Each structure stands twice: as C-alpha cells, then as structure tokens.
Amino acid sequence: MEFDVYPARRSGKLLPRHVMWTGQTRGWLFVVEEFDPELHRSVRIATIRDTAHQPLMQPLLDAVLLSAKPDWMTMTGWERSPDPTGASLIAHQQSWILIPTREMPLPGLPVKT
C-alpha cells in the first residue's frame, strides 16, 4: 500500500510538529523479518520503497505498529545512521506517521476484480 510518510524524529529527538509535517516521503510500505548480523537475531524491518523497489528512507528495525486508524497509522522502531566520525553505526529511536494515499495495486502484482 502506498503512504505519505512523515518521520517524527531526527537523530532520536522529537521534531516540532511544523517541521515534521514538511518532511513527507511518498512510497510503498514493506515489512519483513530478516536476520540481522550485527544484532545476531531476527528483526522486523519496515522500509518505504519506490515503484522500482528502491529504498526511499532509512529502514525501521524492530518495527512495531503502535496505532492504526482508517486515515493514518503510527509505526515506531530503531533507525541506524553513521556516527559523526563515520566509523560505526548509531541506533536512534524513530517514529513514522503513515497516511494512506489511495487504494492502488503495487506495479507487477495482479489486480483483484
């Protein structure tokens, strides 16, 4: 399903609402469980991708759906980014506000009739 996605945090810090609502990314939500070699365990990973399946945002690790309503959802998890030196990764808490754009099938998938 396609969503307008608004990240609620930057580097783990909550953004002011007027800043958060300007950071929209539109894409398809994918949630999968994969083994994470850094954590040595399986993690639920949420990604926002374009129609060519390329990632548009940093993925959410250990993604959890906090709330789901007919017009929006909230998802939270951990986002990895390089530390200031670029030598290692730092995990920051992140939340996404997901607003469905419209009911439209993903390109390449069969359409229900």
Write down all domains in the chain, each with its CATH number in brackets: 2-100 (2.30.29)
Backbone angles phi, psi at 95, to 5 degrees: -130, 145
For the stretch 31-83, pLDDT in tens is 999 999 988 999 999 999 999 999 999 999 999 999 999 899 999 999 998 88
Model pLDDT, residue 8: 95
Model pLDDT, residue 96: 97
- Unique residue bearing structure tokens 């993925």: 59
Tell whether the torsion through CA atoms of 49, 26, 30 and 86 is positive or negative: positive
* Three-state DSSP string of 11-75: CCEECCHHHHCCCCEEEEEEEEEEEECCCCEEEEEEEEECCCCCECCCCEEEEEEEEECCCCEEE
* Other beta carbons within 10 Å of 32: 11
Prediction pTM value: 0.83
> What secondary structure letter does DSSP report for 101?
-
Model pLDDT, residue 102: 74
- Tokens representing residue 28 in the block: 């398809």
- Tokens representing residue 23 in the block: 């950071």
